[in-house]
Amino acid sequence: MLTAPDIADYSQIPPLPSGVCVAPLQRPAGLVDDWLEPVRRKCGSAEHRIWDELFARQMKLVQSRACSEFLRGLERLDLNRGGVPSLVAINARLARRAPVALRGDAQARA
């Protein structure tokens, strides 16, 4: 089994046992150099509408399945303001409560 210290160079696929097939490692289009940060862009009205629909659907399901602390956290993040939330706005709300932040921002509500 490979562990994190065994694989220092994440730009290449590590040695794998015979019989394991992999595709060539290439950065997908639309991602910046570190591969974890999506290219920042504005969301269109269709994407905002989809977010609203999916968020409302999930909130109906989560009410009977999640603990009260989780539900209060969702309420405090205020993700149902309409449209895809901005990570800048979420980070501002998080910063008032804890020393954490989310990376990136699609400037969704810009």
Q: What is the pLDDT of residues 2-27, one digit of tens each?
A: 555 554 566 666 777 777 766 656 66
pTM of the model: 0.53
SS3 letters across the chain: CCCHHHCCCCCCCCCCCCCCCCCCCCCCCCECCCCCCECCCCCCHHHHHHHHHHHHHHHHHHCCCCCHHHHHHHHHHCCCCCCCCCHHHHHHHHHCCCCCCCCCCCCCCC
Say what the pLDDT of residue 87 is.
Answer: 79
Q: What is the pLDDT of residues 22-53, one digit of tens each?
A: 665 666 676 666 555 455 567 889 999 999 99
The phi, psi pair for 31, rounded to 5°, reads -110, 145
Say what the pLDDT of residue 78 is.
Answer: 85
